[in-house]
Amino acid sequence: INSHGLEVVGNMILGFDTDTVNSGKAHVRLVKEANVIMASCTMLTALDGTQLQRRMVHEGRLRPAVGEEVGAVQNPCGEKGDH
């Protein structure tokens, strides 16, 4: 890809159930081997109203926001919702 004048940009997500303590190292290795010029890594986020968020609430896997009850989720815009 690079030899054709294209540059690769990547965004990786950590936090899946299948991730291990070595997942971050694997992401770094991929970035280096694939000659990715710019990479970012974010944590998996159970966004408000998604199936992932409902499943994680049901399984008791979400931590409450500081000062909030379990199940209270803060969306990316900073507004609070109760679920």
**Is the pTM above the cut of 0.75?**
no
pLDDT tens readout for residues 26-75: 999 999 998 999 999 998 888 888 999 999 989 988 876 666 655 554 44
Give pLDDT, residue 81: 47
| pLDDT for residue 26 | 94
Name the DSSP class of 50: S
pLDDT tens sequence across 2-38: 889 888 899 999 999 999 999 999 999 999 998 999 9
Q: How many Cβ atoms from other residues are within 10 Å of residue 35's Cβ?
A: 10
Query: Rounded to an integer, what distance in angstroms lies between the CA atom of residue 1 and that of residue 9?
Result: 12
